[in-house]
Copies of this chain bind each other. A is one copy, B any other.
Amino acid sequence: MNQQMEIICVGNELLIGKTLNTNANWLAKRATAFGIMVKRITVVGDDVDEIADAVRETLKRRTKFIVTTGGLGPTFDDKTLKGIAKALNRKLKVNEKALKMVREKYEAYFREGKMERVKLTPPRVKMGTLPEGAEPLPNPVGTAPGVIIDMKETVLIALPGVPPEMKAIFEDSVALLLKNQSGDPVFFETSIYSRGIIESTLAPLIDQVMHDNPDVYIKSHPKGWGKDIEMHFSTAAKDSKTAKNRLGKAIVQLSELVQENGGKIKPQKKKQ
Give the interface of A toward B (CB within 8 A).
12-22, 24-32, 37-46, 50, 54, 57, 73-77, 109, 114-115, 118, 121-124, 127, 141-143, 162, 164-165, 187, 189, 198-204, 206-207, 210, 217, 219-226, 232, 234
Q: Tell whether, in the assembled complex, residue A15 and residue B42 are in contact, meaning their CB atoms are under 8 Å apart.
A: no
Contact of A74 (CB < 8 Å), options: B121, B199, B234: B199
B75 in contact with A199 (CB, 8 Å): yes
Report the nearest B residue to A21, measured CB to CB. Answer: B21
Docked CA distance A44–B222 (Å): 20
List chain B residues, Cβ under 8 A from A37.
15
Q: How far is the CB of A241 from chain B (nearest CB, A)?
A: 21
B46 touching A222, Cβ below 8 Å:
no
A210 to B14, CA, bound (A): 20
The answer to whether B204 and A123 have CB atoms under 8 Å apart is yes
Supposing A73-B199, A74-B200, A189-B16 touch, asked if A40 and B43 sit within 8 A by C-beta, the answer is yes
- Chain B residues near A21 (CB-CB < 8 A): 20-21, 24-25, 41
Chain B residues with CB under 8 Å of A73's CB are 199, 203, 220, 222
- Listed by A's residue number, 30 A-B pairs whose Cβ atoms lie within 8 Å are A12-B219, A13-B219, A15-B28, A15-B40, A16-B29, A16-B32, A16-B187, A16-B189, A17-B28, A17-B30, A17-B38, A21-B21, A24-B43, A39-B50, A40-B54, A41-B43, A42-B43, A57-B57, A74-B200, A75-B199, A75-B206, A75-B207, A75-B219, A76-B206, A77-B219, A114-B225, A124-B200, A127-B200, A142-B225, A143-B199
Q: CB distance B43 to A15 under 8 Å?
A: no
CB < 8 Å neighbour of A121 from B165, B200, B225: B200
Does the CB pair A203–B74 fall under 8 Å? yes
Using A73-B222, A77-B219 as known contacts, list a sample of 13 further A-B pairs with CB atoms less than 8 Å apart, ordered by residue number in A. A14-B25, A15-B38, A17-B25, A17-B30, A17-B31, A20-B21, A21-B41, A41-B43, A73-B203, A75-B199, A75-B203, A123-B203, A164-B224
Which chain B positions have C-beta within 8 A of A232?
13, 18
